[in-house]
Every structure is written in C-alpha cells, then in structure tokens.
Amino acid sequence: MLFAKLRKIRRTLAFRLTVWYAAIFTASSLLAFFFFYLQIASILRERTDEELLDDIEEFSALFDEKGIDEVRETMILEAKNDGEKDVFYRLLNPGGETLGTSKLFSWGELSVNQSALQRIAKDAKPVFETLTIEGRRHLARSVYASLGPGAILQIGMSLEDDDEFLAQFRQIFGATIALVMGLAGLLGWFMAKRALTNVEEVTRTAQAISASDLAQRVPVKGQADEIDRLATTFNDMLDRIQTLIIETKQMTENIAHDLRSPITRIRGVAEMALLTTGKAIEEYEAAAASTVEDCDRLLEMINTMLYISQTEATAEKLTTEEVDVTSVVWDACGLFQPVAEDKGLSLIVDIGTDVRVRGVLQGLQRMLANLIDNALNYTPSPGTVKISVNADDKLGIIAVSDTGIGISPEELPHIFRRFYRCDRSRSRPGTGLGLTLVQAIVHAHGGEIAVTSTPNVGTTFTVRLPARHSF
C-alpha cells in the first residue's frame, strides 16, 4: 500500500517539479563551490609563492652583505626553526652542483631542474615548480632564484597545510550541500504545491463537470499570472460549452416541434383517406397534394439546416468568383417585384455605387432573397421595402430596410439563432432558419451583418462584405 502510494506520488507533476527545483539548486550550489574552490586554491598558491619570494629576497640581501658562507648557516637555522619536514633549502651553482643544503632526510631524492637553471641564466627571473615527493601524501612548492654571481638558491615548502585547509573546506561544503539539498527539496515541494493549487482546482472543476455540473467554474485569484489566465480561459470555454448545450437543447426541441406539426398533418390526411370510403377522386388528389406540400416543407427545412451546417463547416474552402453585387440586387428585386405589388408594397432600389466581391453567386443570391422575403412578409400594406447598395474604401454595403412590424429590443439579440422566432412572427409560416442561413453566408464570405429595429416603425438589416473593388 505504501509503495503504491509512493509510486503514485512519483508520477505527479509536483514531485517532478520538486526534483527539478532540488536538482537545479544543487547543481548551482556545486558550480558555486567549484568556482570558490578554484579561487581559494589559487589564492593559497599565490600566498605560498609570495612567501617563497620573500625568503629569496632576504637571502639575496644576506648574500650581498655577508657572503655565501652566511647563507649556508642561515639556511640550516631557518630549516630547523620552520621544521625540516616542512621546508628545505638548497644552494646550487649555475651548473647544478650542490653548494650547501639544509637537512633533506625527509624529502627523499630531490633532482635538480636543469631547465629552471637555464631559464635563470637567461633572464635571471625566479622559476617556480610543484614537486611530487616520493613517500609523502602532499605536494611541495619550490622556487629557483639567483642570489648573485655563481649562487642559485632553491627553497621548497610543503603544501600540507594548504591541502588540509582545502580538505576541511570540502568536508564542510559536503555537509552543507547535503543540508541544502534537503532544504531545497522541502522548498521545492512547497513551491510546486503552491504553484499547482489552482491547477488542482481546474482539475476538480473538470471532474465536477464530468458529473454533469456545468455550473461549476474555476476560481480566479486575480493575481494576473499564468494560472489565472488558464482559469479564465477554462471558464470561457465552459461558458461557450454551456451555451452550446443550451442552444442545442433548444434547437432539438424546436426541430421536434417543427417536425411534429407537418408529420401529424400528413398522418391525419392519410388516416382520413384510408378510413373514409366512397370519396371522389378530387378528394384523394387534395389529400395527396396536402401531403406533398407538407413533405416539401419538411425537405426545405432539412435542406436549409444542411446548407447552414455545410456553409459554416467549409467557410474557408469556398470556391469563389467575382460577383457583381449590383446585378444580384437588381435580379432579386425583379423576382420579388410581383410579390410586393400583390401585397400592396413599394419595392425600392437605391444603387449608390456598383460593387463587386469575391464570393459564391448562389449563396449571395440566397442571402439577399431571404432578407427581401422577410421584409415583405413582415411589412403590412401600405408599406415600403428598400434595398440600397453602397461602398467605402474596403467594404461593399447592402442594406434591406422595411416599414414593418419591427423587432422588440429583448428579442433582437436572438434573431440569428436557429429556429428562433419572435412572438409577433409565430402566427406566420416559417421555420426560424432564414436569418441563421443569412448570417452563415455572410460570415462565410468574411463579412458582418447588423440589424436595427423599432417596433411598429421598421427594421434595417445591413450586410458588409469585403469589396473586390468599387467604381
């Protein structure tokens, strides 16, 4: 049970973030240690070299004042005072022969660096070297320097103290880094859990939603960080999903309602035809005609729904051509002119400028026909329906205005929804898909549609399409 719980924790993002925090912090600490270690080692080496040079200066002054014999005696005394295991002195001639030394019993066989002697003979500058002494754990540092004519002094110093200091530094740092790693793990876990708190809230909200609670929302802390943006985006997505589900439910109910009426009529007509005998042929023909009419209405509604879905799904893949909008308007008005005259309405065309757009001719014709048909249907006689065409620098503008019954402000935001029908239009024939189709066609052409309306005064639909060019 415990191992299963540990395996589960290992798979969490918080654990992985904690490991990353601790690893990065530890790596940074190790890098800092390595840098400081090199700095300290360099400082110790420079200090040792300075001490050796100071001794060379003292012996050089002694050589100048009292000669080589005094240098030999002083070498022996200095070695005794400093510790013959820690320091040695050796006096050489330019050829490398020994002129005098301190006691070298603890230093083993010390060879003479002929290369150093040659360099001193060439430029008289001190030459340093690091020695490995057989049988000793620690290295030594030595310097060759000229004291005067015929005398070269080599001084060697054990680096044992420096090595022990660096070893203590490594031990202290090792213990410190272990403590730091533990603290880094705890701090990393705290930071990871705190950073993922809102992510867990998003997860809990998603789980609640999966249980059909669409009213749940992720709390936004107002800290303007990435988690807040994630929560806001998630909430916006939930709003859209909830709206879509509500609209889908309403659309399903509307479809069921609009399908039920004609199907009921078809069934009623069929039953009457079957149950009643001795009817004249004209009655059967009337029943058949009524059935065909209702079937046509159903097919029209289904085809319109399919056309809307297809237009919305393939908006970016439309095969377009250059369409003369002005010509489309004239053709549509010519088609609806008899309808307007039968209803006692005036159909007016106002062309401010000719406009051409990239689009689908059939779609634009259908869009305009729906707008004009709506205007004629909801405008009582005597009334006026006006279609105007204008353009600005980038847009072709088509406006369809009427003096009809208008739309209330409460209903205006919903008129483009599928199957939505205003209260004042429910008594008239229709499916509630016309304006949805118009909007789908306009959006597929990269345009916009807007509506303004005043009840009992009139309505204006304004379509703006990207113009190919105007003249």
What pLDDT does 274 receive?
A: 66
Domain ranges of the chain: 13-164, 226-288, 314-470
Stretch 249-270: mean pLDDT, rounded? 69
Distance CA 318, CA 305 (A): 18
End-to-end CA distance of the chain: 80
Query: Which tens digits make up the pLDDT trace of 40-67?
Result: 888 988 999 999 999 999 989 998 888 8
pLDDT band at 471; cut points 50, 70, 90: very low
Distance CA 423, CA 351 (A): 34
Distance CA 66, CA 413 (A): 113
Neighbours of 57 (CB within 10 A): 11
Q: Is 100 helix (H, G, I), strand (E, B) or coil?
A: strand
pLDDT band at 448; cut points 50, 70, 90: very high
What pLDDT does 183 receive?
A: 79
Which region among 133-147, 153-167, 210-224 has the lowest average model confidence (pLDDT)?
210-224
pLDDT band at 229; cut points 50, 70, 90: confident
CATH of domain 13-164: 3.30.450.20
Q: Is 146 helix (H, G, I), strand (E, B) or coil?
A: strand
Of the chain, the percentage scoring pLDDT greater than 70 comes to 79
Which region among 114-118, 182-186, 268-272 has the lowest average model confidence (pLDDT)?
268-272
pLDDT > 60? residue 426: no
Which amino acid makes up residue 55? D
Distance CA 206, CA 154 (A): 81
Distance CA 262, CA 67 (A): 133
pTM over 0.75: no
Question: Nearest to residue 294, comparing CAs of 272, 271, 269, 266?
Answer: 266
Question: Nearest to residue 457, comparing CAs of 387, 416, 409, 389?
Answer: 409
pLDDT > 80? residue 70: yes
Q: Which residue has the higher pLDDT, 424 or 267?
A: 267
pLDDT band at 280; cut points 50, 70, 90: low
Stretch 71-75: mean pLDDT, rounded? 89
Q: Give rounded-to-5 percent helix, strand, coil for the chain.
A: 60, 20, 25
pLDDT > 60? residue 1: no
pLDDT > 60? residue 309: yes
> Tokens at residue 13, please?
């993002």
Q: Which residue has the higher pLDDT, 433 or 188?
A: 433
pLDDT > 50? residue 470: no
Stretch 325-329: mean pLDDT, rounded? 90
Stretch 360-389: mean pLDDT, rounded? 91
What Cα–Cα distance (Å) separates residue 312 from each residue in 305, 307, 367, 391, 400? Answer: 11, 9, 14, 26, 23
What pLDDT does 435 receive?
A: 87
pLDDT > 70? residue 160: yes
Topology agreement, domain 13-164 and domain 314-470: no
Question: Nearest to residue 263, comparing CAs of 231, 298, 288, 221?
Answer: 298
pLDDT > 60? residue 450: yes
pLDDT band at 133; cut points 50, 70, 90: confident
155 phi and psi angles, rounded to 5 deg: -115, 130
Q: Angle at Cα 374 formed by Cα 329 and Cα 355, nearest 5°?
A: 20
- For 112-193, strand residue ranges (E) read 127-131, 140-148, 151-158
Question: Nearest to residue 258, comparing CAs of 85, 15, 430, 49?
Answer: 430
At the top level of CATH, the class of 314-470 is alpha beta
pLDDT > 80? residue 9: no
Mean pLDDT rounded to a whole number for the chain: 81
Question: Nearest to residue 360, comparing CAs of 300, 434, 441?
Answer: 441
> Which residues lie across from 400 on neighbouring strands?
387, 461
> Tokens at residue 352, please?
């401010």
Which residues touch 25 (CB under 8 Å, ≥6 apart)? 180, 181, 184, 188
pLDDT band at 213; cut points 50, 70, 90: low
Angle at which helix 226-275 crosses helix 197-210, to 10 degrees, equals: 10
Q: Is the previous residue joined to 382 through a cis bond, with omega within 30 degrees of 0?
A: yes
Stretch 87-108: mean pLDDT, rounded? 88
pLDDT > 60? residue 140: yes
In DSSP notation, 315-335 reads GGG---EEEEHHHHHHHHHHH
> Tokens at residue 270, please?
């069929």
What pLDDT does 458 receive?
A: 92
What pLDDT does 467 receive?
A: 80
> Tokens at residue 314, please?
């393939």
Residue 313, Cβ density class (10 Å: 0-12 exposed, 13-18 middle, ≥19 buried) = exposed
CB distance 293 to 286 below 8 Å = no
Which region among 73-77, 126-130, 225-229 has the lowest average model confidence (pLDDT)?
225-229
Q: Estimate to the nearest angstrom the gap between the alpha carbon of 182 and the chain centroid.
A: 32
